[in-house]
Structure 1
Amino acid sequence: MTDRTLDLDDFSDLIERPHGGLRRDAEERRARTGLPPESLGRLDELGEWLTAAQGRLPVEPLRQPRLVVFAGDHGVASLDVSSHRAGTAHTLVRETLEGTTPAAILARKFEVPVRIVDMALDCEPSELPEEVTRHRVRRSSGRLDIEDTLTGPEAEAAFRAGMAVADEEADAGTDLVVLGDLSVGGTTAAGTLIAALCGTDASVVTGRGGGVIDDLTWMRKCAAIRDGLRRARPVLGDQLELLAAVAGADLTAMTGFLLQSAVRRTPVVLDGVVTAACALVAQRVAFRAPDWWVAGHATSEPAQEKALDRMALDPLIEQRVEVGGGTGALLALPLVQAAAELAAQLPVRDDAVDEKDGEGDGAADSPALDAT
C-alpha cells in the first residue's frame, strides 16, 4: 500500500497491559472480605480486570458506559448472502435512532447513551444526522470476493476515523464501551477475516449471519468467503492491506477503534462475530490489546467462537442473540457493572488494610497515536 502515513507497529509500543500489580492487590483485597473464594464466580475476575484497567483500588463503579456502533454496507451483500437486502443497513440505523431496535430498547432501559458512526452506509448522508455521518469514508464497499473493499487511502482514513472516535470517547470520560455493528454483509467480511487469520476453510467459519438464512443463502455466503480468502491470504502480513482487501470501512474503523481504546486504557465489551473479527485483526497488530476487552456473549456463529478462542476470551453470557447492534453485549453490561460495584463496596475485615489508592494514568494522560 503506497503513500501510507500510518505505522501500525507503533501500537505494540503504546499499548501496555492493565496494571498487573493492582490486579494482584485486588485479589488480596477480595480475600479479606470474608466471602468464600470463588463464591462470586466471574464477578471476581471482572472486578479485578476493571481494577487493573482503571489503575485504581478499590475500583471505581462504572458511571459513564456508552454503546458505540459502527455502521456500513458491504458490496458482497449483492450476492444475496444475508437475510437483509443489500444496501439497507441505513434502515437499521434509523430504527436504532428512533429507539425501536432491541439494542436501542436495552440501552434506554440501562440508561446507556448510544453513538452510531456511519462509515459506509449506502444512502445519501443528508438522510441521517450529521453527527452520525461525519466520519463516513465512502458509500458501501467493494465486493470482497472479486475486488478490494477499500482503496489504500480509504482504508487509512477509516482506520484513523476509528482512532478518532476512541479518542473522543476517552476525552469525554467514557469509562466502558459496549461495541456493536450495524451492517448488511458484515458477517461475511468477518468470516473472511477470521478464516484468513486462523488458517481455516470457508465452510468452517460460515454461519447464518444476523438472521436465519436458508441453505442456498448459506452456500452463497460460503462461496463468497472462499473467494474472499483467496484475496486475503496474500496480504496477511500487512493488517491494513488485509482490511482494505476484504473488511470494508466499518470493520476497518472498528479495528482502529479497538487499538486506540487500548492505548487510551478504555475497557471494551465486544458484541458478536463482527467485533470479534476486528479484535482478532487488532490482536495481530498488538498482542497486548485483548487484555483491554471482554467478550460480552456467545452467538451461534462458528467464526466468533474461533476468534474468541484464539484470543483466549471467554464470553460472559450465552443467550445466542443474533440481532447485532450491540444487543448481546448490552445484556452482559449489568454483569460488568455489578462486578465493579461489588469490588468497590465490599468491606474488608481488617480496618487497617492499606488500600493502595491507585494513581494510575487516566485515559486523558495516556500516550496516543494521532488519528489526524
Structure 2
Amino acid sequence: MDGEMTMEGKLAARLDELLRSVGPVNEDAARDTQERWDSLAKPLKSLGLLENNVAKIAGISGSSRVNLKKRALVAMCADNGVIEEGVTQTGSEVTAIVAENMAVGSTTVTVMAEAAGTDVFPVDIGMATEGSLLEGVPKEEGELLPRTLLQRKVRRGTRNFAKGPAMTREEALRAVLVGIEIAGCLKAQGYDILATGEMGIGNTTTSSAVAAALLSQPAERMTGKGAGLSDEGLQRKIYVIKEALGNLMPDREDPMDILVKVGGYDIAGMTGLFLGGAIYRIPVLIDGFISSVAALLAVKLKPLTRDYMIASHVSKEPAGQLILDELGLKPMLCCEMCLGEGTGAIAALSVLDMGLTVYHRMATFDDMNVEQYQPL
C-alpha cells in the first residue's frame, strides 16, 4: 500500500533516531580527572595512555570517580558465505564449536576474562550451524546472562560475496541494532565498560574487504593470512576480495553499503556495540583488526562515536595499524596478537586496572609535602 513504510525503512528510521541521541562526552569530568592525575606525586603525564584513557572514561561516564568493577566482553559469532571460495583452512562448523566453548568457559578469551574479572556474553548473530547448546533455545527476554549463548540470529551466515552482496540492507540494519540493543541492556544491568570480540570462520576476509573499501586501499595491502593460510591461500584470498570489490563496487561514502556488500554479521553487530556505547554512554574497548574495522564503520556512521572508544592493542594483521591510524586512536599494547575473540581487549583491561589503582590510591604532592611538578 502506498505510503506504508517498509521494514527496512522502519529499521533505518530507528537507527537514525538512536544516533540522534549521541552527544559529546563530559569535558568537565575528563578535565577533573586529568587534574587528579597531575596532582599525584609523579612526573606529569608519565603514565601516558593510562592517564589519557582513564580521563576519557571519566568523560564518557560523566564522573571523575572512575569505576570499572563490572565489565563485559560481548563476542559476536557469525559465519561468512565467502568461505565457499577456499579462503580459509576450516569450515563453518568451527564457529559453532568455539561459540559453544565460549559459553562453557574453555576458550582462550574466556580463560583470560576470568583472570580479568570480566563476564563473557557470546552472541549467535549469524552462525550457519546450530550446535547442541542451541537446540530448542528461544531468544532470551529480559536480563542478559553471562556464559549463555545469546540468540540474536539475523540469518544463518551471510551470502557468498564473490557471487553477490553478502546481505540485504534490512539484514545489516537488524544486525547493527542487535549490537545497540545489547549495549543498552548491559548498561542497564550496571556494566561499566564493554569489550568487543568475535568468532567467525572467514571473518578476516570480510574485514579485509570492508577495510579496503573504507580506505580505498588495494586488497594486497589490507589482507593477511588470518588463521594460518599458506602463501597460495593468501593469494587466493586477495584475488577473491579484489574481484568482489570490483564487481560489487561498494560506495565508500555509504558505510552501510560497504557492510551490505562485503561485510559480516559479526562486524555489523560490533558496529552496533560501538554505536551503543555512544548512545548509552559506556566506554567500549576495540579488540583487534576485525573489531577495529567495525569501530571505523561506526565512526563513519556517527563521528562522535570515536570519543567513546578505547583502542586496546594493534593487531598483527597487515591493516591493523592502518585502521587505528584512520580512527586516530593509539593502542595501549603491542603484543603481535591476532587471535581475535576479544583477547587483546581483555589484556588491555588488566593494564587499565593498574592505572586505576594508581589513580585512586597514590599519594599526591600535598600528601607528601613535595612541590608539585609544573608544565614547562
TM-score of the pair, normalised by structure 2 = 0.87
CA contact (8 A) 1:78 1:86 kept: no
CA RMSD of aligned residues (A): 2.1
More off after superposition, 108-117 vs 335-344: 335-344
How is 1:91-170 mapped onto 2 (pairs within 5 angstroms)?
91-124=97-130, 127-128=133-134, 130=137, 132-170=149-187
- Paired with 1:44 and 1:190, the residues of 2 have a C-alpha distance of 31
One-letter amino acid of the counterpart of residue 124, structure 1: E
**2:359 aligned partner:** 343
Percent of aligned positions that are identical: 27
Q: Does 1:184 align with 2:194?
A: no
Q: 1:343 to 1:232 in 2, by over 3 A?
A: farther
- Paired with 1:232 and 1:196, the residues of 2 have a C-alpha distance of 11
CA contact (8 A) 1:194 1:277 kept: yes
User: Structure 1, unaligned stretches of length 5 or more?
Assistant: 352-372
One-letter amino acid of the counterpart of residue 199, structure 2: L
Task: Quote the offset at 1:256 in angstroms.
Answer: 1.5
**2:255 aligned partner:** 239
**1:174 aligned partner:** 191
**1:222 aligned partner:** 238
One-letter amino acid of the counterpart of residue 278, structure 2: A
Partner SS for 2:9: coil
Task: Quote the offset at 1:10 in angstroms.
Answer: 4.7
Task: Quote the offset at 1:218 in angstroms.
Answer: 0.3
Partner SS for 1:302: coil
Q: 1:133 to 1:110 in 2, by over 3 A?
A: closer
One-letter amino acid of the counterpart of residue 152, structure 2: H
Q: 1:132 to 1:91 in 2, by over 3 A?
A: same
User: Structure 2, unaligned stretches of length 5 or more?
Assistant: 138-147, 368-376
Partner SS for 1:194: helix
**1:60 aligned partner:** 66
Task: Quote the offset at 1:347 in angstroms.
Answer: 4.2
Q: 1:55 to 1:341 in 2, by over 3 A?
A: farther
How is 1:256-267 mapped onto 2 (pairs within 5 angstroms)?
256-267=272-283
Q: 1:332 to 1:216 in 2, by over 3 A?
A: same
More off after superposition, 184-193 vs 20-29: 20-29
Task: Quote the offset at 1:40 in angstroms.
Answer: 2.2
One-letter amino acid of the counterpart of residue 122, structure 1: A
1:48 to 52, 55, 60: 55
**2:217 aligned partner:** 200
Partner SS for 1:184: coil
1:319 to 312, 322, 335: 335
Q: Does 1:248 align with 2:253?
A: no
CA contact (8 A) 1:12 1:287 kept: no
2:325 to 291, 300, 309: 309
One-letter amino acid of the counterpart of residue 111, structure 1: G
| Higher RCO by CA contacts (8 Å cutoff, separation 6 or greater) | 1
Task: Quote the offset at 1:224 in angstroms.
Answer: 1.8
- Paired with 1:125 and 1:86, the residues of 2 have a C-alpha distance of 11
Partner SS for 1:315: coil
- Paired with 1:83 and 1:342, the residues of 2 have a C-alpha distance of 45
Q: 1:203 to 1:342 in 2, by over 3 A?
A: same
- Paired with 1:158 and 1:125, the residues of 2 have a C-alpha distance of 21
Task: Quote the offset at 1:23 in angstroms.
Answer: 1.8
CA contact (8 A) 2:121 2:150 kept: no
For 1:277-336, what per-residue CA distance to the aligned partner results, in whole angstroms no more than 9, with x for missing partners? 111111111111111111111121122221111001111111111221111211111111
One-letter amino acid of the counterpart of residue 88, structure 2: S
Task: Quote the offset at 1:87 in angstroms.
Answer: 4.2
Partner SS for 1:177: strand
**Aligned residue-pair number:** 349
Task: Quote the offset at 1:160 in angstroms.
Answer: 1.5
Q: 1:44 to 1:213 in 2, by over 3 A?
A: same
CA contact (8 A) 2:275 2:305 kept: yes
CA contact (8 A) 2:250 2:261 kept: no
For 1:55-96, what per-residue CA distance to the aligned partner results, in whole angstroms no more than 9, with x for missing partners? 112x23311011110000101112221233244211111222
One-letter amino acid of the counterpart of residue 352, structure 2: V
- Paired with 1:344 and 1:33, the residues of 2 have a C-alpha distance of 10
